[in-house]
Amino acid sequence: MISITLLSIVGIIIMLLHSPQWTRTGRWVGVLGTIAALFLIRFDNTILVPTIEVTRLGNLWAGLILGLLLLILLLIPNRNALHPVKNDHLALLIFATVGALILTRFDHIVTLILGLEILSIPLYVLAAQSHTSRSYEASLKYFILGAFSSAVLIFGFALWYRSTGMLMIPGPIVTDMVGQCGIVLILGAMLFKVGLVPFHYWVPDVYEGTPTGFTAYMASIPKVAAFAALFRVAQLLPSDTWISIATILGSISIIWGSLGAFRQSKLKRLLAYSSIAQAGFWILMLNSNQFSVYFGFAYATASILLLWILDIVEANTRSHSFTGLIHQNRILGAIAIVALVSLTGIPPFAGFYAKYSSLYATMDRGSSIAVGIALIGSAMGAYYYLRHIAQIITHPETPYRIEAPIVGILSASVAVGVLVIFGLAPLF
Amino acid sequence: MDITHGLVGAPIIFALATIWAGSRWGTIVANTLNLITIAMTGIAFFLIYRGILPASVDAVSLVFVGLTTMTVTAVLAVATQNTPNYSRFAALVFLTQLGLNLAFLQNSALWFYIGWEIALIPSLLLIFGWGGLGRKAAGIKFLIYTVAGSLGMLASILYLYSHTGTTDWALLSITLLPSSVQLIAFLGFFVAFAVKIPVFPFHNWQADTYSESNLPTAMLLSAVFSKLGLYGLYRLVTSIAPDATTTVAPFIITLCVIGSIYAAILAFSQSNLKRVVAFSSMSHLNLAAAGFFADRLLGLPGALLQSIAHGGVAIGLWWGIGILKNRFGHTRLHELPGGITSENRWFTIAFFMITLAAMGVPLTSGFPGELLLIQSITHHGIGIGILAAVPMILGAVYMLRAYQSVMLGDPKPSKVTIQLNRLDYVMGTAIVSFILLIGIYPQLIFRLFTLR
């Protein structure tokens, strides 16, 4: 609980530093606070709050979330961005992360709902920050659907409670009709949060309407936290039911997301659809284990890097794709190529091992049809990701230098190094 | 640590150093650093000939690494002429080499896959960055074919791993897999290799890719990239699926022989020299692929020898085309002036030697491999054996036709000049010596295959 408390305090401090001259200070307070929280994860305990559970795996998820937050805090405050990041926004990001951390720790229904709400409400606000009609639309859509899904979740838990008389997770497996209805509602709401088919319709519009810097957040931390929670909630289902649900929905998501991504020329919509496909790969892992954490790391890091670069490109050239990026800024171009290659799942980057372990888990439990579908999805993924590499390399019509903040470049390079090292390490 | 780690690890350092050296020093740095790789390969070969093998590697792997080193040297040397952004080009070539060496030297299917994919991205960047006008379409075609094929391999690796718990070639070869498992694993691997080689119905990417990429890249792709597929077939046939191989052998040999003849016919009808070479490459490699399935005694060494020999010939052909391209600006067969022989005899003779090797004339490197291949295919029936000899005849037709229209006759403008520099003389001499060396004394390579 210490890390969660610390992060909340950091968020409040940043919120208080809201006047413009404190912008830089706020950012560095956030960075230091995140690093401190990262170190304090190990000392988390349940002394004051009995409704959480501290496990090693939970620590791993929390460490991933804090690491991603650190990366985002180092990257996105870009002064030249279309939508400058103020300290209020940083505070919202940090509050949302507090919710995400709670989602890695809950063992009680109330904590789960609390975590989901703390995570979601700042995102509804952040989605509207472009102050364009599209952005308001995204925010409203996200808000209405999110609130609806929360209601469904709570109703599901009410039914489940009626059937079992328990509020703790993991609980007993229900067999009566009412309890099973409850489980279905709970699962639907959780699948909405991770953006899997058939609960994915909000993803592309919300991604597109949100300011790109915040999309980087939205594509990473909420998704990681939602998956941590989903895998935990899935323990309420009989395991074979869960296996078939996850395999079917995973395969459909991979195909659906890939088909949607196929014809997107806007990078943001492409990433939105591809995040549906990636979620399909992710859910094929079925359980919360170190491999699913690893998948989260590989997917989220690459997405953050790409959206950060897109943010810079949009601010400089008003273009929505990476055409000619390598001629405008070598390092950004190289980082974008690495991130795209990693998302495709090509070694030596982390994306390969993530995809490999997901496919291996699927193959190991004998669902070779799902492996086949996932491989077809990967092949389509290779097309739509790597097509953008071709765009990065083409010569732009107007050669134009793109400047990037040095802190961002350094942190992104470190992130690329981590992608390579973590990509190769599990193979030895 | 032994020499193999050096061969895998060095290219990445070289790539970084070359990038860092920049446009001014890139040429010197890249070629000097490549000398280190040559030295390491030389030491490795010296060790095998002395019978001292690194425990983890067998001779076949090292032969393919030798081919990679040779090709990279040639590519770096040829690219010093007329390649913009040389340092970036060389860095990408080094990264490709990293992937290739990784695939050849690490004795496991998973690492083979990883090396294969690592090599893919820099080579794709080479096509995108330095290719001709249609490079984008060609690159994406290349990419889709290769990635789709390699995902079949990944599926097979996963399947094998879930059945045996290992992906090590040596361990897989002593694991007795049921033939149904072997067959499924075989199909996945075969699709990947068939795309890479390329075997007949999977060949559509090849000619476009070769003719749209610049010459050094085409050299790299045809001389070593396709050999990834042949090396993979060797491992597939010997370690993973020996039973499945005998089951599907008649079918695949037929496919390969058809492909070989088909490619030869296509080569005959091309009007661009690059595409002639692309299809001739496909024709030879299809036959080599058939050799892996024909028999163990003659076909296997024949196919391996043909892979190495074809690497040398491919380097030579692309070198010659490069000189023509630099001089005339295009490679369209009917628009080249012809009559070069009266101008520069040395070049025409060197190119003729290479042409002879591509035709498989005795005493050149093309012959011993091809002879063994045809002989081994004959064991599967005299009819298919005769058909397997047809590409050799057609090869003579299309190679000589191309040679004639480029080199012989009266030049259309009364005088053509071709000026070679010192590098071209060195390259030409080296390639011709390689061709003659393998052609006259193929034992040099055969010994290594039997060393295991």
Residue B317 is inside which H or E element, if any? helix B299-328
Region at B270 (left for phi over 0; alpha for psi -120 to 50; beta for the rest): beta
- The alpha carbon dihedral of B285, B157, A389, B7 has a sign of negative
Distance (Å) from the C-alpha of residue B92 to the closest C-alpha of chain A?
12
Q: Cβ contact (<8 Å) for B143 and A372?
A: no
**Alpha carbons B242 and B31: distance in angstroms, whole number:** 42
- pLDDT the model gives residue B56: 67
- pLDDT the model gives residue A45: 77
> Count of domains in chain A?
1
- pLDDT the model gives residue B55: 65
How many other CB atoms are there within 10 angstroms of residue B175's CB atom? Answer: 16
φ/ψ of B199, rounded to 5, equals: -85, 160
Q: What DSSP string runs through A371-419?
A: HHHHHHHHHHHHHHHHHHHHHHHSPPSS-------HHHHHHHHHHHHHH
- pLDDT the model gives residue A49: 75
Minimal Cβ distance to B143: which of A337, A386, A393: A386
What ipTM was assigned to the predicted interfaces of this complex? 0.87
Contact A78, A405 (CB under 8 A): yes
Q: A123: Cβ–Cβ under 8 A, 6 or more apart, which residues?
A: A96, A142, A146, A217, A218, A222
Task: Tell me the CA distances in angstroms from A294 to A104, A357, B75, B377, one per residue in order.
Answer: 15, 9, 39, 49
**Alpha carbons B128 and B125: distance in angstroms, whole number:** 5
Q: What's the CA angle centered on B397, arms B393 and B403, to 5 degrees?
A: 135
Q: Cβ contact (<8 Å) for B152 and A375?
A: yes
In a 3-state reduction of DSSP, which class is residue A106?
A: strand
Q: Cβ contact (<8 Å) for A382 and B147?
A: yes
Q: B255: Cβ–Cβ under 8 A, 6 or more apart, which residues?
A: B199, B200, B201
Q: Cβ contact (<8 Å) for A341 and B121?
A: yes
Taking CA–CA distances from A375, the nearest residue in chain B reads B151
B315 Cα distance to chain centroid: 9
Q: Cβ contact (<8 Å) for B114 and A363?
A: no
Which tens digit of pLDDT belongs to each residue from A94-149? Answer: 999 999 999 998 888 899 999 999 999 999 999 998 888 989 999 999 999 999 99
Computed over every residue of chain B, the mean pLDDT equals 88
- pLDDT the model gives residue A373: 92
Contact B302, B222 (CB under 8 A): no
Distance (Å) from the C-alpha of residue B117 to the closest C-alpha of chain A?
6
> Count of domains in chain B?
1
- pLDDT the model gives residue A60: 93
Which tens digit of pLDDT belongs to each residue from B343-377? Answer: 888 999 999 999 999 998 999 998 999 999 999 99
Q: At what angle do helices B366-378 and B299-328 cross, to 10 degrees?
A: 140
**Alpha carbons B438 and B445: distance in angstroms, whole number:** 8
Minimal Cβ distance to B117: which of A346, A390, A394: A346
User: B183 is written with which tokens?
Assistant: 């067959």
Does any domain span residue B342?
Answer: yes
Neighboring chain A residues of B154 at a CB cutoff of 8 Å:
356, 359, 375
Does any domain span residue B229?
Answer: no
Does any domain span residue B213?
Answer: no
DSSP code at position A84: P
Whether A346 and chain B come into contact, CB under 8 Å, resolves to yes
Whether B29 and chain A come into contact, CB under 8 Å, resolves to no
Whether A363 and chain B come into contact, CB under 8 Å, resolves to yes
Q: B407: Cβ–Cβ under 8 A, 6 or more apart, which residues?
A: B338, B339, B340, B341, B348, B351, B352
Minimal Cβ distance to B162: which of A363, A378, A379: A363
Neighboring chain B residues of A372 at a CB cutoff of 8 Å:
155
Q: Cβ contact (<8 Å) for B162 and A375?
A: no
Whether B5 and chain A come into contact, CB under 8 Å, resolves to no
Q: Cβ contact (<8 Å) for A427 and B111?
A: yes
Per-residue confidence of chain A (428 residues) as pLDDT tens digits?
Answer: 788 999 999 999 999 988 888 888 888 899 999 999 999 888 887 777 777 888 889 999 999 999 999 999 999 876 666 777 888 889 999 999 999 999 998 888 899 999 999 999 999 999 998 888 989 999 999 999 999 999 999 999 999 999 988 888 888 888 889 999 999 999 999 999 998 988 988 999 999 999 988 999 999 999 999 999 999 999 888 989 999 999 999 999 999 999 999 888 888 999 999 999 999 999 999 888 899 999 999 999 999 999 999 998 888 888 888 888 888 888 999 999 999 999 998 888 999 999 999 999 998 888 889 999 999 999 888 888 888 888 888 877 777 788 888 899 999 999 999 999 998 888 77
Taking CA–CA distances from A379, the nearest residue in chain B reads B148
Q: Which of the four pLDDT bands, split at 50, 70 and 90, describes residue B100?
A: very high
β-bridge partners, B168 = B108
Q: Cβ contact (<8 Å) for A379 and B121?
A: no
Of B115, B121, B120, B113, residue with least CA distance to B154: B113
Q: Cβ contact (<8 Å) for B161 and A347?
A: no
Whether B128 and chain A come into contact, CB under 8 Å, resolves to yes
Minimal Cβ distance to A348: which of B114, B154, B161: B114
Of B122, B283, B140, B148, residue with least CA distance to B217: B122
Of B196, B92, B217, B93, residue with least CA distance to B151: B196
Whether B120 and chain A come into contact, CB under 8 Å, resolves to yes
Contact B46, B39 (CB under 8 A): no
Q: Cβ contact (<8 Å) for B140 and A368?
A: no
Chains A–B, number of C-beta pairs less than 8 Å apart: 72
Counted residue by residue, chain B has a size of 452
**Alpha carbons A424 and A348: distance in angstroms, whole number:** 6
**Alpha carbons A164 and A166: distance in angstroms, whole number:** 5
Of B262, B284, B290, B305, residue with least CA distance to B380: B290
Neighboring chain B residues of A359 at a CB cutoff of 8 Å:
154-155, 158
- pLDDT the model gives residue B107: 84
- pLDDT the model gives residue B228: 92
Whether B229 and chain A come into contact, CB under 8 Å, resolves to no
**Alpha carbons B451 and B68: distance in angstroms, whole number:** 20
Which tens digit of pLDDT belongs to each residue from B391-412? Answer: 999 999 999 999 988 888 777 7
- The alpha carbon dihedral of A202, A205, A209, A210 has a sign of positive
Computed over every residue of chain A, the mean pLDDT equals 90
How many other CB atoms are there within 10 angstroms of residue B49's CB atom? Answer: 13
Whether B19 and chain A come into contact, CB under 8 Å, resolves to no
Taking CA–CA distances from B127, the nearest residue in chain A reads A390
Q: Is cis: bond before A170, omega within 30 of 0?
A: yes
Contact A383, A277 (CB under 8 A): no
B133 Cα distance to chain centroid: 24
Q: Is B178 exposed, middle or buried (0-12, 13-18, 19+ CB in 10 A)?
A: exposed
Mean pLDDT calculated for residue range B72-83: 90
- pLDDT the model gives residue B261: 94
User: B153 is written with which tokens?
Assistant: 């391999």
Q: Cβ contact (<8 Å) for A375 and B128?
A: no
Q: Cβ contact (<8 Å) for A359 and B111?
A: no
Contact B271, B226 (CB under 8 A): no
Whether B111 and chain A come into contact, CB under 8 Å, resolves to yes
Minimal Cβ distance to A390: which of B113, B114, B140: B140
**Alpha carbons A395 and A384: distance in angstroms, whole number:** 20
- Per the structure, the complete domain to which residue A327 belongs is given by 2-427
* Three-state SS annotation for A321-364: CCCCHHHHCHHHHHHHHHHHHHHHCCCCCHHHHHHHHHHHHHHH
Q: What is the largest CA-CA distance in chain A?
A: 67
Residue B314 is inside which H or E element, if any? helix B299-328
Neighboring chain B residues of A378 at a CB cutoff of 8 Å:
147, 151
Q: What DSSP string runs through A142-202?
A: HHHHHHHHHHHHHHHHHHHHHHH---BSS-PPP-SHHHHHHHHHHHHHHHHHHT-TTS-TH
φ/ψ of A52, rounded to 5, equals: -120, 165
Minimal Cβ distance to A359: which of B111, B114, B158: B158
Distance (Å) from the C-alpha of residue B336 to the closest C-alpha of chain A?
31
Cα torsion for B41, B46, B51, B54, to the nearest 10°?
-30
In a 3-state reduction of DSSP, which class is residue B132?
A: coil
Task: Inform me whether the pLDDT recorded for B1 exceeds 70.
Answer: no
B291 Cα distance to chain centroid: 16
Q: Cβ contact (<8 Å) for B139 and A390?
A: yes
Task: Inform me whether the pLDDT recorded for B452 exceeds 70.
Answer: no
Does any domain span residue B385?
Answer: yes
- Per the structure, the complete domain to which residue B425 belongs is given by 244-452
Which residue in this structure is represented by tokens 């490109």?
Answer: A313
Neighboring chain A residues of B111 at a CB cutoff of 8 Å:
427
Which tens digit of pLDDT belongs to each residue from B179-226? Answer: 888 898 899 999 999 999 899 888 889 988 998 898 999 999 999 999
**Residues of A (245-304) whose Cβ lies below 8 Å from B:** none
User: A220 is written with which tokens?
Assistant: 């990473």
Q: Cβ contact (<8 Å) for B110 and A378?
A: no
Q: Calculate Rg over the CA atoms of chain B.
A: 21
Q: Is cis: bond before A198, omega within 30 of 0?
A: yes
Task: Tell me the CA distances in angstroms from B29 to B21, B25, B76, B80, one per residue in order.
Answer: 7, 6, 11, 12
Mean pLDDT calculated for residue range B10-39: 90
Minimal Cβ distance to A375: which of B111, B125, B154: B154
Does any domain span residue B321?
Answer: yes
